[in-house]
Amino acid sequence: MEKRIFFLFILLIGFVCSLEVESSCPSKVYYEDNFSCEIYISGSKMRYDVKLQILGKYKESLNRNWDGESWFRSDWFLKDFIGVGGGKIRSRIYRDFEGEATLVIKLRNKKTKEIVFFEERPIEVNFERKNLIRKRNSQKDPGVIFNLEKLPKKVINLKSPEILERTAEVIYESKTEKIRKYSFPIFSFFLIVILVYSFFR
């Protein structure tokens, strides 16, 4: 009976203290842009080797991971990298790939080299750089901008034809109109001069 209780107690401790791992990674990444994955560890005080790898269509590695000093190849484990509570892994896409890829996360016991956690999920890789996309999305269509200095110096009147007709009468007079306007006074003047001349003759 005591042995059974002891065995149950050990089993319960093992269940309570079992390793639990969760990860948080973006669903979309961009070529030559840095991104991060966070790994949360509970139930263990050990340190682990970790591998974060993004695989293309033919299982080729698309990313490199930051090991604290340089960009490290992703098909190798980052040794003794994550401990109590977990940590963050910085990564970067360095191959020109477009489309759906596979994100793989592995945790390995640094002493026994046993894989204690394995996760695989789809991830979208965009070849166009993220900052260019942000710049494009932030730009608003300015519309058509004319350089007024280069435009021909021509006045466009947006008034109705009736107003244009009245305006034309004020601004411009044709030769025929001028002759008709001034011919009667001139003719009258000459007629008066002829009458006066005839009277005193």
- pLDDT at residue 49, as a whole number: 96
Q: What is the pTM of this model?
A: 0.57
- pLDDT at residue 193, as a whole number: 76
Same domain, 122 and 175: no
Same domain, 45 and 105: yes
Find the domain containing 68 and state its range.
Answer: 20-138
- pLDDT at residue 62, as a whole number: 96
- pLDDT at residue 130, as a whole number: 59
- pLDDT at residue 188, as a whole number: 73
- pLDDT at residue 169, as a whole number: 41
Same domain, 27 and 113: yes
Number of domains in the chain: 2
Q: What is the DSSP letter of 57?
A: T
Per-residue model confidence as pLDDT tens digits over 163-183: 444 443 444 444 555 555 566
HSE (side-chain half, CA atoms, 13 Å) at 121:
14
Do residues 109 and 48 make contact, with C-beta atoms less than 8 angstroms apart? yes
Q: Does residue 108 lie within any of the structural domains?
A: yes
Q: To which residue do tokens 């026994």 refer?
A: 112
**Which residue numbers in the chain have pLDDT < 70?**
1-17, 129-185, 187, 201
- pLDDT at residue 198, as a whole number: 74
Cα separation, 109 vs 21, whole angstroms? 13
